[in-house]
Structure 1
Amino acid sequence: MARLRRGDVTPHEDYGFFGPGSVVWKVWSYPTAPTVGFQRAVVVEELDPPLVAAVHATQGIYRRARTRYDRTLRYFAMVAFAGTREVCKAADVLVKVHSKAIGELPYGGGTYDANDPASQLWIQLTGWHSILYAYEKYGPGKLTEQEETEYWEACALAAELQTCSPDDVPRSREGVRAYFAEMRPRLSASPIARQAMNHLLRTELVLPPTPWWAKPASLVVARAQRIATIATLPRWMRELAGIRQSRLLDTIVVPVMKTAFALAHLSPRLELLLIGRLSPSTVPVIAPMKLGVPPRTQEVLTPAEARARHGYSRPAEAHLDFRARQAARVFEDGKAPSDQGLIESQEILGPLG
């Protein structure tokens, strides 16, 4: 991976939905994104009762932690950097993947559905907010007012790749704060939420096997990322989830991580090497951007233009018959949902095992 050259990189079909010069490429290409930003997002997500119910039911984060991290990070990176055909295909198959995550809520009654627009909006906003938060705390700092406006407009555009409505995405920092304030009373650190959050903070579970002589350094890196991620969580959230960390550690970790990320960002090939250890399947997605390999067609499309060109439905309207059959299997027949979506997803999101 360290010897990856521009000639070894397969170019994307087009620049996707954002392209060079966009604030999305600026923020999401910084090494805080696939590390602290991404980890923060998946940890915070678990406080939403319907979402954590789906996560707990599938057990993916426990049975295949490294693979799950790899596939999910690949999808996040595809939305930011891949060509539109690839992204549309991934968003389409993800609807079928999520159709498996349906059932009865374990606490309080009711049902959950990973394709529910409210759950998808929660995922979208926790993800984009966490990536930006990590960039500001451990990266170059706050965006300009114009850049931040562009960032949240881009978040709304990317929401078109989910089952939620882009109209529900706030377009400002104040709007995002209002959304989280509205969500706070609905959040719950149930036993399965606490279990999932603490599990997802164990960075060592997603690192590849290392020789005995490298294990101490690997554990130090994992511990540093855990500390850095916890330091981004507000106190009320930590108390809710039973996560403890001293204010001293919160303070000390900032200059350490800012320096480490700044040094890593000096070399695109070093960044690709580090990404390859965390998420091997993400490397082909970001390598063209990191090494300056232009796409075959140098254009940026909107999701609507891409769906029309490549022949895909809006995610909210995709695979309705299949989703209905999945619901009937679970709620009427008492059977487990089909794995068809997971199986099909391997072609674009990577292997399950």
Structure 2
Amino acid sequence: MEGPTMAIRELTTTPEDYGFFGPGSPTWKVWTSPTALVGFQRSVVLEHFDPDLTAAVADQRGIYTDPVGRLDRTLAYFLTVAVADGRTAVEASDFLMKVHAKATGIEPVSGKRYSANNPASQLWIHVTGWHSVLKCYEKYGPGPLTPDEERRYWAESVLAAELQTCKPSDVPASRDDVRDYFATVRPALCTSERANEGMHYLLRVPRGKGSARFWWASRFMAPATIATLPKWMRELGGFDQPGVLDRAVVPAARLAVRASSSPKAKLAILSGALPMTRRTLAAHVRAEPPVRAETVTPAQVRERLEASRVSPAK
């Protein structure tokens, strides 16, 4: 997924509201954890099991010509939806939909036309993103959410999906729903030469493609990312690793997460590697109380934006 430039509106430390989820929400907790970086790498790798998304990524070539920029914009977008105020998130989403509207072409394996805004592909992006970030939070971070937090997390995921072209009735609303979703789409998942190229590239970005810190970080995270994936995916993608490495990476990743869990440490990790994501997180960390101490829904934000266009403030 090619993220927006976020130039729509300057990020501010005085948000209009708490956004869609607010303080104490599991979404804020999970998406601002250092484990979100591993979860994000996992999700962009998994995107390539959708042949239409593989075609879109391969045809656009963004990850190959500008991997840091492409991945930075995408992660910044996910983080914006999770923690920014409602207006910022909605405007970023609207811009992203316009960008995706241009990403169309022919998927070479089936010969059918693809669109990056196709609801099925958008649902795959959304579910793999939210599931991957939670899975890595559980495996390498503080551990599982409480039952109430998990119910709320998936309800918040359904709300966030309103910003994409997904059909609301198709969005999984629980862990069991997610399992059912993966079982349903599995027969349609596949790889190809271009899919494997993309997955391996994102797991270990070549030297010279972006900053040295980004090159190093992708290799450091890759074993932890692979260790969270089922065997069949690893074998299908051609990036399986020994079980001994799966086991060894867990304590190392947990130690790294504990060492980088303070706001200052998280911002330092992103500095020089993912600048747009860093700015998004910094605005959240340093945010003052919002103008309106409330959470909102995408529908409410859109109503307010429409009303402001019809009756501009004098």
Normalising by structure 2, we get a TM-score of: 0.89
Residue 74 of structure 1 contacts residue 282 of structure 1 at CA under 8 Å; is this kept in 2?
yes
Could you say what secondary structure the match of 2:276 adopts? helix
Q: Which residue of 1 aligns with 2:4?
A: none
Paired residue type of 1:17: F
Say if 2:266 is the partner of 1:271: yes
Task: Say whether the 8 Å CA contact 2:13–2:287 is kept in structure 1.
Answer: no
Q: Answer whether contact 1:203 1:225 (CA < 8 A) is retained.
A: no
**Unaligned stretches of 5+ residues in structure 1:** 1-7, 313-353
- Asked whether the 8 Å contact 1:15–1:84 carries over to 2, the reply is yes
Q: How does 1:24-103 map to 2 (within 5 A)?
A: 24-33=27-36, 35-103=37-105
The alignment-based identity, stated in percent, is 50
Aligned partner of 2:192 among 190, 193, 201: 190
Structure 2 residue runs without a partner (length 5+): 1-10, 308-314
In the TM superposition, 1:107-118 aligns within 5 A as 107-118=109-120
Task: Report how many residues are paired.
Answer: 297
Deviation at 1:101, TM superposition (A): 1.0
How do residues 314-325 of structure 1 correspond to structure 2 at under 5 angstroms?
Answer: none
Calculate the aligned-residue CA RMSD, in Å.
2.0
* Correspondence 1:86-165 to 2 at 5 A: 86-165=88-167
Partner residue in 2 for 1:22: 25
Check 1:243–1:104 CA distance in 2 against 1; reply closer, same or farther (3 A cut): same
Give 3-state SS (helix, strand or coil) of 1:76's partner: helix
Deviation at 1:295, TM superposition (A): 2.4
Deviations 1:103-147, CA, capped at 9 Å, x for gaps: 111102211111111111111000000000110110011111111
Equivalent residue number for residue 251 of structure 2: 255
The structure-2 alpha-carbon separation of the partners of 1:303 and 1:219, relative to structure 1 and needing over 3 Å to count, comes to closer
Taking the TM superposition and a 5 Å limit, the aligned residue runs for 1:210-249 are 210=212, 221-249=217-245
What SS is found at the alignment partner of 1:52? helix
| 1:289-337: CA deviation from partner (whole Å, max 9, x where unpaired) | 324532233221011101101129xxxxxxxxxxxxxxxxxxxxxxxxx
Q: Which residue of 1 aligns with 2:304?
A: 309
- For 2:7, the equivalent position in structure 1 comes to none
Amino acid at match of 1:112: Y
Given that 2:20 and 2:295 are in contact with CA atoms closer than 8 Å, whether structure 1 keeps it comes out as yes
Q: Which residue number corresponds to residue 283 of structure 1? A: 278
CA contact (8 A) 2:81 2:89 kept: yes
SS at match of 1:142: coil
Whole-Å Cα distance in 2 between the matches of residues 124 and 62 of structure 1?
23
Distance 2:47 2:215 in 1: 25
* Structure-1 separation of matches of 2:208 and 2:149: 32
Q: Which amino acid aligns with 1:173?
A: R
